[in-house]
Amino acid sequence: MDRVVVDSWIAANLLDTDAWDQVSEQKQTVAVVQAERNLARWYPAAELVVALVSYQAVWELQGNDPTLKYQKHNVKSVSDNGESISYKDGQRDVVAPDVRQILGSTAEELKAEEEAAAEQRQYGGELV
């Protein structure tokens, strides 16, 4: 997908564009390519329309924020003088929230759910 198309969509549809606006066109292009690659892997059956790629590209760039990088590694707080780091449960989702809201669970997550359900099934037989 063309970066210019994504740039136009972002300018017309998103309020929080700081992560997109603050990087070079080269970084924007890389974010678009990365977003397309990730979405194609996570949602192989989905049509990658400009809205989905745009949401994910901005999300990818927001992940470069140092604060969000700490969150990605489950860091809850950092103290310099005391040299302490506390961790939290969970992790920043790799899928943009808007993309997840539109497309739902990734193919990998659906497969894991199906496998878990298959393990719990009982096939035939009688209770004795």
Considering the domain boundaries, does residue 85 fall inside one? Answer: yes
Closest CA to 22 of 58, 53, 55, 52: 58
Is a pLDDT exceeding 70 seen at residue 40? yes
How many structural domains compose the chain? 1
Considering the domain boundaries, does residue 111 fall inside one? Answer: yes
The mean per-residue pLDDT over the stretch 82-86 comes to: 67
Q: If pLDDT is split at 50, 70 and 90, which confidence band does 88 have? A: low
Considering the domain boundaries, does residue 128 fall inside one? Answer: no
The mean per-residue pLDDT over the stretch 42-53 comes to: 96
**What size, in residues, is the chain?**
128
Is a pLDDT exceeding 80 seen at residue 28? yes
Considering the domain boundaries, does residue 56 fall inside one? Answer: yes
- At 45 the pLDDT is 94
Q: What is the extent of the structural domain holding 80?
A: 3-120
Considering the domain boundaries, does residue 12 fall inside one? Answer: yes
Question: Could you give the residue ranges of the DSSP H alpha helices within 1-128?
Answer: 3-13, 18-21, 25-42, 50-62, 66-72, 97-103, 107-120
- At 79 the pLDDT is 72
Is a pLDDT exceeding 70 seen at residue 87? no
Is a pLDDT exceeding 70 seen at residue 128? no
Q: CA-to-CA distance for 126 and 112, rounded, in angstroms? A: 28
Burial 78-99 (b: 16+ CB within 10 A, else e): eeeeeeeeeeeeeeeeebbebb
Considering the domain boundaries, does residue 21 fall inside one? Answer: yes
Q: CA-to-CA distance for 56 and 100, rounded, in angstroms? A: 10
Cβ–Cβ under 8 Å, residues 25 and 61 = no
- At 46 the pLDDT is 95
Considering the domain boundaries, does residue 98 fall inside one? Answer: yes
